[in-house]
Amino acid sequence: MRSLNRRTALLAAAATAALSLTLAACGDDGDSGHSGHASAKATTSATASPGKHNDADVSFAQGMIPHHRQAVEMADLAATRASSAQVKKLAAGIKKAQDPEIRAMSGWLRAWGEDVPEPMPGMDHSEHDGMPGMMGSKEMEELKKASGADFDTAFLKMMVEHHKGAVEMARTEKKSGAYGPAKTMADAIIKTQNEEITQMNKLLGKEAGDETGHESGKGSDKG
């Protein structure tokens, strides 16, 4: 009888342990109400699990993706419309940096069970016009029609404002976000884009021929 009681106690303990493990696994998969099934995707690290991010991180990724996409569109235009080798090099660097960031942020959102913003058709960015530094559809169409020195000046002016908006968004993420990789990316955006803003302002000074940059192409120093 004593042996039977002991066996029953051991079985009960084993069942309790198994139930605890099951509940722990379920808890790991849904701490914050987001799905964690994709946390091991190539675009995220092992830390991309539920409970490691907050609403500010989601807003950062969902806002920065369309913001970066517009910058890449502008950079693509520079390849065929810019006359300055320096502008073309700058645009190529912007695209090289921001394409991987778009992929990374898309991976985070999928891992968190959140929506990834859909690309806007053509140059229509009206849905995001209120975002810091975002260009309106009219401005994008005007840039698309420009070429040569006129394009160089318009591109630089627009991208300076665009970068300022990205830096503002990145600072908000640093202040309010919780997800480590997102905050690291925000740091990189602030550093890189501030450096590019300085570079573009210098180029505007060269190409405009005065400090205000209102005249385009006169006395320009093409690289």
Which residues of the chain register pLDDT less than 50? Answer: 1-48, 128, 208-223
- The three-state (H, E, C) secondary structure of 83-96, written as one string: CCHHHHHHHHHHHH
pLDDT digit string (tens) for 147-190?
999 999 999 999 999 999 999 999 999 999 999 999 999 999 99
pTM: 0.68
Instruction: At 203, list the tokens.
Output: 């180029």
Cβ 204 vs Cβ 154: under 8 Å = no
| Alpha-carbon Rg for the chain in angstroms | 25
Residue type, 99: D
